[in-house]
Amino acid sequence: MYFVQCVKYDPFHSTIVFEGLVIGALFLVRLVSKYFQQALLWEAALRSVYRVRVCVFERVLERDLGFFEGGYGKAVGDVAYRITAEASDVADTVYALLNTVVPSSL
């Protein structure tokens, strides 16, 4: 014997489900937009550091050969390390600055 149970339409239940879906969709949109915001900020920081590295490297190439030779000369590895390390520090600083200023302005 089969029993058929009648389910009454409950408008309150459907409203809660709809609102839950809307909140879920908004949360998903927020997550995606935060991801793209962080990606774009990091890209901006890396592009600015790239320009700094190129400028510094051009300036190092303009130096006389005596800068790298002799008793008081700089080792090439030291110069390359300083360019890389300090540019990385600048990238982190620019990213932190952008990450602080941009979200608060939006």
**How confident is the model over 32-53, as pLDDT tens digits?**
988 998 898 889 888 988 898 8
pTM over 0.75: no
Helix (H) or strand (E) holding 62: none
Decide if pLDDT at 23 tops 90. Answer: yes
Decide if pLDDT at 24 tops 90. Answer: yes
| Distance in angstroms (rounded) separating the CA atoms of residues 87 and 52 | 7
CA torsion angle for 6, 11, 13, 19 (degrees, to 10)? 150
More confident residue, 11 or 59: 59
Helix (H, G, I), strand (E, B) or coil at 6: coil
Decide if pLDDT at 21 tops 80. Answer: yes
Q: What is the model's pLDDT at position 26?
A: 95
